A and B are shown apart, each in its own frame.
Chain A
Amino acid sequence: MSTQTETPAAGKPEADQSPEPKPNFMRLFGRYLTEANSVMVTIYSLLLAFLIGAVLLIVSDEYTRSTFSYFFARPQDAWYASRDLVVESYTALFEGAILNFNTLEQYQAGQAEFGNLLRPLSETLTYATPLIFTGLAVGLAFRAGLFNIGAQGQLIFGMMGALIVGFSLDLPIWLHLPLAIIAGGVAGGLLGAVPGVLKASTGAHEVISSIMLNNIAALFLVWALGTAFLHSETKPDLVSKPVDDSAVLPTLLSSLNPSLRVNLALVIGIAAAVFTWWLLSKSTFGFRIRAVGFNEHAAATAGMRIGSTYTTTMTAAGALAGLGGAALALGVSSGGITTNTALDYGFSGITVALLGRANPGGIVASALLFGALKAGALSAQPDVPVDISTLLQATIVLFIAAPALVKAILHLRTPRGGLVTLEAKGW
């Protein structure tokens, strides 16, 4: 992913004729708030997305819509109905994702344990964990100028790799669990290497090949689940064998309350983010990735091997997504994976990476946000349409990807150095 700077027509900073007032902290802060810099664009994108979500909630709710039919007779009906709907819906999302106020009251009244209180957060973290891995998988490739659409397939391969080692070997936990996790990474890495090798050797565009590999991986899973080797020995539906207990990721908080599902994969995900950050900013490999991503011609002229950089980066990216698959197969789905286990974690990883601007820290933050939206939406249904979560995600990313739109809607000022947009090279 390259960071492109759009400067005004003449390529010069915009003229600012007004005499500069003496800067003080509040004034600088005010300037910052009204400027289309990347932090403020992100914040405003979130606000705008929730605003649009509110409008769509109102439009899609039958009762609220009916109050608008007599809007001119009794506008207050429409107003109160809309307000109540939006507040209730967003409160429900919040309660499902972060803190349930009912549980809080019960806890204060001594009717609920502390563990119950943590349940929404645990769900958010559980949904965020695979997104951290797939977000990193897309983000790392972005930095080398590659658009890795294949995180979904890599995650599916990771799931299968971890599963096979997870049920077929009989080992002590200190060896079995790490081996199963590594198997997930290796399987994802192998699938990730394919578009890299194809691009390096034939110039085939990684977007096309990784999209196709997603389909191949998904259908391969369907076939594999039907084979006697993988298929469950006890259940008739298309579900795999469970992994051995010695390969199951231990939960972190189930001692407080058995319903807290968040497990060790979260810690591994954050460690992977830290490692990716270190790799990109401190290692010679990261130096090469960034140089190739920004300007492959200059990198090649400096003696860097472009093809092998593509291959290794895609392999590393695939391995990260594969670890995400291992997190599922050895974690929440350790009882057996199905064709539904992967959900759309790989595709959401693209938006997570975009929102996190391909920075490991930003990716963790946006994975948490998306995990919260998911957990909130799932717990708030059927009162709130579950699609609201997808809609909010899509709108947020739309605004992030089009900072000029946010700037125009809110009349923000152009920051020094111009607007920052994200784009993958050659796409």
Chain B
Amino acid sequence: MRLELKGLTKKFGSFTADDDIDLVVEPGQIHAILGENGAGKSTLMNMLYGILTPTSGEILIDGEPVSFSGPGDAIAAGIGMVHQHFKLVGPFSVADNVQLGREHTRGLGVLSAAAARKAVLDVSEQYGLRLDPDAVCEDLPVGVQQRVEIVKALSGPKTELLILDEPTAVLTPAEITELLQIIRNLAKSGTSILFISHKLKEVQAVADTVTVIRRGKVVAELEPSASEAEMASAMVGRAVSLRVDKTPADPGEPRLEVKDLTVVSDAGVKVLDGLELTVHAGEIVGLAGVEGNGQTELARAILGLVKPDSGHISIDGRDVHGRGPARRIADGLGYIPEDRGRDGLVAEFSVAENIVLNQYKDEPYSKGGVVDAGAVRRRAVDSIAEFDIRTQSPEESASSLSGGNQQKVIIAREFSRPRRFLVAAQPTRGVDVGATEFIHSRLVAERDTGTGVLLISSELDEIYALADRIAVIYNGRIVGEVAPDTPREVIGRLMVGASAATEPARDDADGGDR
């Protein structure tokens, strides 16, 4: 399929999300679209997939103008989409998920399980995507779930164009390598691919051509051979330093000591299993690992929201057993939660209220149980200036800010009070390149003032950029502590539980015990 967009524009009121976008995807081409959050990528894809109607401009498929009034039209025209957040029914089997919305029946609404299973097997054979049609989706590893999504998208009546929206955000390095290979194979068999990402390395590895959009406009058409710096500056609109400037660490006394920490979940699973970890003053320890291996519980146990079943946590040399989160925060624990929307912000509160969310009881923000709105506002005005938070006013509700600016609110909250130790979980998730650069430099500056930093990230690039030491977590244990110059492959093997030296034996279809 040859897809062409001509002058595609989408306006929301006075705001132009996409402005005069021209784009051509040739048959069998892998076309990457690069852009920051809010650049207009999602709006563009939603127009292509029939979720939004363009304000002006046209979409041409094989030279014919088309108009979609819903995703059904787009699917009928041969467009399939794999969403960033999977749209699978967890308890359903793979076959049932694939046939969702276009069920195979034997007439009169009686489902035909055999036909559904055969359809899955046909597609997975045709494209070389191994899948067990009877497996229950929620039991599958994330990478395999994504494969289900791809098969689902390819199972349309005649899917010839596949849109992949940030497909690698949740995958392990090995799964990413595999996905990129799948994408190459699909393109070879003639399927056109629109690959949306803000990860430059993947784009370089897989794309045939790269379109960069910024503020709703196409700002550059690049070859995949273009350098990362070139791509990043096109995305951001100015020169970006991808490398974080930092001097070698000068570790001091231990600020965090975790000894033999075990946490058993409500379901009876050991989510942390005798974990040992030490972070010293003045160093950043990067905790690498596939999500769901105990990082969340470790962070919450350090804060005091999860009670350990056994083991000890010491912060700044003191055993914190029996101290609640408020006490630990007051004693100098900084905490950037991994899920900003859930744990980081009260969306309905103003920016100012969010900045003092864990200090509202302290002077000068309140006295004798009465909040001093003036002091809160002054603090907010200062923080907004210092951390470059883009907001109309301190009274604006946090929900109206972009993801990057919401994260800056949290950074401002944690960095404007004295602290001894900082947990930064996924500090740049869903944050654009410019804000990432800013947050990274603040984390390094934080380290240089002597704070111990535990950086939890599922992005190896981030760990490499910041960490002075890398610990790898797998199944609730630290399975390796390595130097920051350790090759990616070695860490990748540790992350899936294999020893650093040997090649892991894996079975793709069932993905092991996660």
Which residues of A pack against B, CB within 8 Å? 2-3, 9-10, 12-17, 282-288, 290-291, 294-295, 297-305
Contacts and interface: CB of A to CB of B under 8 A. Distances in A.
23 contacts: A3-B348, A10-B51, A12-B12, A12-B15, A13-B12, A17-B11, A282-B373, A291-B349, A294-B348, A297-B339, A298-B343, A298-B344, A300-B325, A301-B303, A301-B305, A301-B344, A303-B324, A303-B325, A303-B326, A303-B327, A303-B358, A305-B324, A305-B326
B358 A302 contact: yes
A15 B55 CA distance: 9
A298 B13 contact: no
Contacts of A298: 342-346, 357
Nearest to B358: A302
B360 A284 contact: yes
Closest 10 CB pairs of A and B: A303-B326, A302-B358, A303-B325, A301-B343, A12-B12, A302-B357, A294-B348, A295-B346, A303-B329, A294-B346
Given A2-B348, A282-B373, A299-B346, 9 more contacts: A12-B12, A15-B55, A17-B11, A17-B55, A291-B349, A294-B347, A294-B348, A301-B335, A305-B324
B37 interface: no
Interface of B: 11-13, 15, 17, 43, 46, 51-52, 55, 303, 305, 324-330, 335, 337, 339, 342-349, 353, 357-358, 360-361, 366, 369-371, 373
Contacts of B55: 15, 17
A284 B362 CA distance: 10
Nearest to B304: A303
Nearest to B330: A303
Contacts of B52: 10
Contacts of A17: 11, 55
B43 to A, nearest CB: 8
B246 to A, nearest CB: 28
A295 B324 contact: no
A291 B350 CA distance: 11
Contact of B11 (A15, A285, A286, A295): A15
A301 B337 contact: yes
Contact of B361 (A16, A284, A290): A284
A14 B13 contact: yes
Given A15-B11, A285-B369, A300 B305 contact: yes
Interface centre among A291, A301, A304 (most CB of B within 10 A): A301
A425 to B, nearest CB: 12
A10 B43 CA distance: 9
B215 to A, nearest CB: 16
Contacts of B342: 295, 297-298
Contacts of A282: 370-371, 373
Contact of B371 (A12, A287, A305): A287
B325 A283 contact: no
B371 A13 contact: no
B303 A16 contact: no
Contact of B13 (A2, A13, A286, A290): A13
Given A291-B357, A302-B357, A283 B46 contact: no
Contacts of A2: 348
**Majority-rule SS of B interface residues:** mixed
A286 B349 CA distance: 13
B370 A10 contact: no
B369 A283 contact: yes
A415 to B, nearest CB: 13
B346 to A, nearest CB: 5
A10 B346 CA distance: 23
Interface centre among A284, A300, A303 (most CB of B within 10 A): A303
A3 B17 CA distance: 27
A13 B400 CA distance: 12
Contact of B366 (A12, A284, A297, A301): A284
B326 A10 contact: no
Contacts of B357: 291, 298-299, 302
A15 B305 contact: no
Contact of B343 (A3, A14, A286, A297): A297
Contacts of B371: 282-284, 286-287
A299 B339 CA distance: 13
A96 to B, nearest CB: 41
A2 B346 CA distance: 11
A295 B13 contact: no
A304 B327 CA distance: 10
B268 to A, nearest CB: 18
Given A295-B345, A303-B325, A303-B329, A287 B305 contact: no
Nearest to B348: A294
A282 B367 CA distance: 11
Contacts of B360: 284, 287-288
A285 B360 CA distance: 10
Contacts of A16: 13
A9 B12 CA distance: 12
A13 B15 CA distance: 9
Interface centre among A2, A3, A10, A283 (most CB of B within 10 A): A10
B344 A10 contact: no
Contacts of B17: 12
B153 to A, nearest CB: 21
Contacts of A15: 11-13, 55
Contacts of A288: 360
Contacts of B324: 303, 305
A257 B370 CA distance: 43
Contacts of A294: 346-349
B376 to A, nearest CB: 10
A284 B369 contact: yes
Nearest to B17: A12
A298 B361 CA distance: 16
Contacts of A304: 326
Contact of A291 (B11, B15, B303, B346): B346
A287 B370 CA distance: 10
Nearest to B345: A298
A291 B357 CA distance: 8
A254 to B, nearest CB: 39
A298 B327 CA distance: 16
B131 to A, nearest CB: 32
A282 B373 CA distance: 8
Contacts of B327: 303
A291 B413 CA distance: 15
A37 to B, nearest CB: 17
Nearest to B344: A298
Nearest to A278: B370
